[in-house]
Amino acid sequence: MIHVKKLNHHFILGKKGQKATLPVLKDISFEVDKGEIVTVVGKSGSGKSTLLNLISGFIRPTDGEIWIDNKKVTDFTEAEFADYRLNHVGVIFQNFQLIPSMTAFQNIELALTLKGINKNERNQITMEMLKKVGIAEFQDHYPGELSGGQQQRVSIARALVLKPPIILADEPSGSLDSETEADLLEFIQKLNNEMGITFLIITHDEEVAKIGNRTITINDGRLVEGGAVR
């Protein structure tokens, strides 16, 4: 489902004439099979979030290949990747990235609008997702009126609303208390079991890492465990 081949990435720091190269990821290769929950762990600054941003298509790798569902997405244009992400990949952000001027309902509905789905169907699907994540009673609340856990559930519903086969999650429990985190992890496992959704989850949390079928460890930008490519 996801195949990363010899991925390298560095950032350029400084101004013109004083530039420096900062290596972040070094020769990363691994696979995620369909229906797996794979967790990626490592210390802060190890390159985990950069890896997720590369797989999501928000940034481009310095070198290497990323294949998703047998498509070489590193060859996509920006427009092609945006369209592919809309239809095939849901992203759960660490800081939620909800639109503050939109209600919970509107944040979830937006992807359906971009997809061109008619209003009646949008309303039905959005309400189903709100109920699925357990926050239907907060549909008219704005992000600033919701708790961290409620915002995260809106973020999850938004990622799931088009029923993508893959979910990429960056520290999905980072803003949650222990009880809400337990609910979230149970929900992820339920979605994996019932819908067969493939999850790649970036985390530093041991409890989150435990739900993975497999754990990949990154240290100083290098994969050190769990990523053997068949």
CATH code for position 135:
3.40.50.300
* Residue 53 identity: N
Asked if residue 98 has pLDDT above 50, the reply is: yes
How far apart, in whole angstroms, are the C-alpha atoms of residue 180 and residue 186?
10
Can you give the pTM of this predicted structure? 0.86
**205 vs 144 pLDDT, higher one:** 144
Torsion angle in degrees (nearest 10) through CA of 210, 215, 218, 223? 170
Asked if residue 162 has pLDDT above 70, the reply is: yes
**Per the domain annotation, does 19 fall within a domain?**
no
**Per the domain annotation, does 4 fall within a domain?**
no
Asked if residue 175 has pLDDT above 70, the reply is: no
Determine whether 79 is exposed, middle or buried from the number of CB atoms within 10 Å of its CB (0-12, 13-18, 19+).
exposed
Residue 77, pLDDT score? 92
How far apart, in whole angstroms, are the C-alpha atoms of residue 105 and residue 108?
5
pLDDT (tens digit, 9 = 90+) per residue, 198-218? 999 999 888 899 999 999 999
**Per the domain annotation, does 17 fall within a domain?**
no
pLDDT band at 169 (very low <50, low <70, confident <90, very high): very high
**Per the domain annotation, does 154 fall within a domain?**
yes
Contact 136, 127 (CB under 8 A): yes
How far apart, in whole angstroms, are the C-alpha atoms of residue 157 and residue 140?
15
End-to-end Cα separation, the chain, in angstroms: 13
Mean pLDDT of the chain: 89
Number of domains in the chain: 1
Range of the domain at 93: 33-62+71-225
pLDDT (tens digit, 9 = 90+) per residue, 13-72? 877 767 888 889 999 999 999 999 999 998 888 899 999 999 999 999 999 999 999 999
**Per the domain annotation, does 91 fall within a domain?**
yes
